[in-house]
Homo-oligomer: A and B are copies of this chain.
Amino acid sequence: MITVQQAAQLARQASWDLASLPEEIRNDVLNRMADTLEQNREKIFEANRLDMEKGREEQLAGPLLARLLMDEKKLAGVVKGLRDLMRLQDPLGKTLLSRELTDGLDLYRITCPIGVLGIVFESRPDALVQIASLALKSGNAVLLKGGREALGTNEVLFSVIDEAARSAGVPEGWAHLLRTREDVTDMLSQEGLIDLLIPRGSNAFVRYIMEHTHIPVMGHADGLCHVYVDESADLAKAVKVTVDAKTQAYAVCNAVETLLVHEKIAPAFLPALKAELDQKNVELRGDDGVRGIIACETATEEDWQTEYLDAILSVKLVSSLDEAIGHINRYGSHHTDAILTENMENARRFVSRVDSAGTYVNCSTRFADGYRYGFGAEVGIATGKLHARGPVGLEGLCTYKYVLIGRGQTVAETMSDSFSYTHRNTDTPCPLA
């Protein structure tokens, strides 16, 4: 067994090859992965049966067991995901900018892989294939660490896709499966070898990673999303969207946790909303203003800071749009926040001033998702502000470089008073991409 540092070194080596691996080969690998996963179905199910047995012995909660399961249906989903990814446009070698600097000296900005990724994910074996295939399609090498409970299944899945990749000419080191918590710790110190860490998991875990590494981290620590019901909201729409944002799923990062209601619409809106939410057994926690209109628990300062991930909604009256925006920017997690309004100037102010990856108008926060955005699979939802925000798919796993192609030009030649740059943008794709 090689060390994490050795794996990272191999990944770094492999990353140069991956950066120039033609699209046809990368897609061929995805195709082979799909085929060999189908061929090895029994081996995969058998490994998963053992993981599931152990999980039951360890009395894992129902939802965790459901995630851990790899059955016919999930494998079919994984295989379909690979074939869909194959058909997605190549994210590499796209010319983002094309500019003549001076006669015969042309600047291009082209997309390229980031290099080496380190991704930690939950006990969901389908995630292993999804993440490894996203990395491969985007030309990145990857160190993978899945949840402990899924290790048996992950080892089989990994050996199957690794074989498929290697048989198509992908270099050793393109992906490596980490096994232990100590491996993750070791990974955090591989600066210079790993370019980006993407931790998925609990808030506490993501924060731990951010605080213990100098490698850039992309991830979201919280999903504390808001819905603001503006004075001018359409009542029926507002009830419908709020109910969806809270109840369509609970344990998800894009569910609403705090509802802000303009005091002028509250007397009409809150009773209508409560009638709907009572039917779904959602607990409401309101401030004094809210409790003056409907009966509910009392919300405290802590409620505004809490991502319930449960059938609980905190509710606060506000006297203005700006108070709502202020609350969201103070307590929110910069994930996704929605305004329900028929006043487009208010919508515009909300959109420009709310500092979140997603600012929504008259629709449910639950739409914040790579699949729903049409990005194909996603590696996560970023709540940082740099590089990529919101759902991160292939594009977020790429960066760019500048290519400058000349005929022997020097800067010395440009220092005369008579020289000036043309800086003429063109539509020419980079001839070396």
Q: Spell out A's residues near B (CB within 8 Å).
A: 15-17, 19-20, 99, 101, 105, 107, 112, 114-115, 195-196, 210-211, 214, 216, 218, 234, 236-238, 240-241, 243-245, 248, 325-326, 329, 340, 344, 347-349, 351-353, 355-364, 366-368, 372-374, 384-387, 389-390, 399-412, 414-415, 421, 423, 431-433
Contacts and interface: CB of A to CB of B under 8 A. Distances in A.
B352 A234 contact: no
Given A361-B404, A402-B358, A423 B374 contact: yes
A107 to B, nearest CB: 6
Contacts of A326: 16
A214 to B, nearest CB: 6
Given A349-B20, A409-B363, A421 B386 contact: no
Contact of A404 (B114, B329, B367, B423): B367
The 8 closest A-B pairs by CB, nearest first: A363-B406, A237-B408, A244-B410, A374-B423, A366-B411, A20-B352, A386-B387, A387-B387
Contact of A411 (B114, B248, B406, B410): B248
A358 B400 CA distance: 9
Given A101-B372, A406-B360, A115 B355 contact: yes
B401 A115 contact: no
B412 A386 contact: no
A151 to B, nearest CB: 30
A19 B355 contact: yes
A250 to B, nearest CB: 13
Given A362-B405, A389-B401, A16 B329 contact: yes
Contacts of A349: 20
A74 to B, nearest CB: 18
A374 B99 contact: yes
A432 B373 contact: no
This chain's copy number in the assembly: 2
Nearest to A216: B386
A400 B20 CA distance: 29
Contacts of A402: 357-359, 368, 373, 389-390
Max chain B Cβ within 10 angstroms of own Cβ: one of A329, A389, A410, A414:
A410
Contacts of A244: 410-412
Contacts of A195: 385-386
A47 B359 CA distance: 46
A16 B353 CA distance: 5
A185 B362 CA distance: 44
A114 B421 CA distance: 30
A403 to B, nearest CB: 5
Contacts of A411: 244, 248, 364, 366-367, 372
A115 B373 CA distance: 25
B373 A240 contact: no
